[in-house]
């Protein structure tokens, strides 16, 4: 096809490579923008589920066709720094009453029975009990000793529209490759 416009074989080969690279870049951009992206875990707030340095795949379509659910691990921008993203677990949905009593979290009067989380932590800077607003979720890190999450006014309850997506797969390290729960 390019032979018609570019008679020189060397220049035509370079032009074809440029077109292939441009198409690949466009394809990668569209996937990253609309379908999925990767995210790196920074810090230990999701230990033991996710470790510092893990790389995960974030499904951006999750909430386009579904709604957030309890225990989903989600990615969202940190309010104070739009370049920074947090990875946390949803433990409260709209209308849920969240409470923190003597180191334990309660949802609608029932203690959370999450075996993946550490307990006996501070309640943060928000006032409990708190009702999760419509269109938002309450998120916590699994390692609550070091997690900046919905307990703190800087994060608060996360509006659904700010969720980048749901973590669906651990890509790195290869030894831990697989689904994330």
**pLDDT bucket at 115, cuts 50 / 70 / 90:** low
CATH tag, 41-179: 2.10.109.10
88 assigned to active site: yes
Q: Which position among 3, 10, 40, 45 bears the catalytic label?
A: 45
pLDDT of residue 71: 92
Lowest mean pLDDT among 16-20, 46-50, 125-129: 16-20
Of the residues 60, 62, 88, 147, only one is catalytic, namely 88
Question: How many angstroms separate the Cα of 23 from the Cα of each of 18, 30, 171?
Answer: 9, 11, 25
d(CA 131, CA 107): 10
pLDDT over 70 (residue 56): yes
Mean pLDDT (the chain, rounded): 81
E strand or H helix at 178, and its extent?
Answer: strand 178-179
Q: Where in the chain is the domain with CATH 2.10.109.10?
A: 41-179
pLDDT above 80 for 80? no
Distance separating alpha carbons of residues 150 and 43, to the nearest angstrom: 17
Q: What is the mean pLDDT of residues 60-88?
A: 84
């Amino acid at each position: 096809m390019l032979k018609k416009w570019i008679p020189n074989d060397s220049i035509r080969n370079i032009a074809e490579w440029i077109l292939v690279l441009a198409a690949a870049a466009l394809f990668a951009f569209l996937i990253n923008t609309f379908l999925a992206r990767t995210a790196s875990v920074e810090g230990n707030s999701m230990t033991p589920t996710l470790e510092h340095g893990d790389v995960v795949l974030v499904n951006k379509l999750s909430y386009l066709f579904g709604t957030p659910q309890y225990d989903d691990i989600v990615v969202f921008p940190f309010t104070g720094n739009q370049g920074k993203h947090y990875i946390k677990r949803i433990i409260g949905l709209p209308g849920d009453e969240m409470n923190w009593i003597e180191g334990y979290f309660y949802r609608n009067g029932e203690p959370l029975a999450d075996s993946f989380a550490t307990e006996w932590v501070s309640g943060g800077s928000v006032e409990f009990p708190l009702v999760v607003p419509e269109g938002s979720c309450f998120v916590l890190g699994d390692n609550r000793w070091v997690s900046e999450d919905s307990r703190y006014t800087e994060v608060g309850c996360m509006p659904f529209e700010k969720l980048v997506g749901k973590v669906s797969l651990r890509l790195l390290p290869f030894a831990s490759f697989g689904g994330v729960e």
